[in-house]
Structure 1
């Protein structure tokens, strides 16, 4: 199974936007780690949106 380039770009862009990490640092993460950061950022955003 391959992981689509569009999905990788979306994940890297999402983490880079929120954490201001360079793309290479994000790409160096294992897939599971990267997905965990995506999930955690989403949870943070959900909490912030609920507070508004």
Structure 2
């Protein structure tokens, strides 16, 4: 079963918006690694008191 495309692009957009990594870099990452970066960005956002919606805050 393939990973849902909408979820993949959501993760990629979230990471790219914060770290400005290329789509090529993000596409070659393992799923678990991308999810880990999403969690780390969410943790940083919480520490900074970010008010923007964070779809990965509960990971």
Q: TM-score, normalised by structure 2?
A: 0.78
Point out 4+ residue stretches in structure 1 off by more than 3 angstroms: none
Give the number of the structure whose alpha-carbon radius of gyration is greater: 1
Number of positions where the alignment pairs a residue of Structure 1 with one of Structure 2: 50
Structure holding more helix per residue: 1
Deviations 1:6-52 (A, max 9, x none): 000100000000001011101111111110000000000011007xx
Tell me, in whole angstroms, the C-alpha distance in 2 between the residues paired with 1:34 and 1:42: 12
CA RMSD of aligned residues (A): 1.2
Q: TM-score, normalised by structure 1?
A: 0.88
- Gapped regions of structure 2 (runs ≥ 5): 51-59
Tell me, in whole angstroms, the C-alpha distance in 2 between the residues paired with 1:10 and 1:18: 13
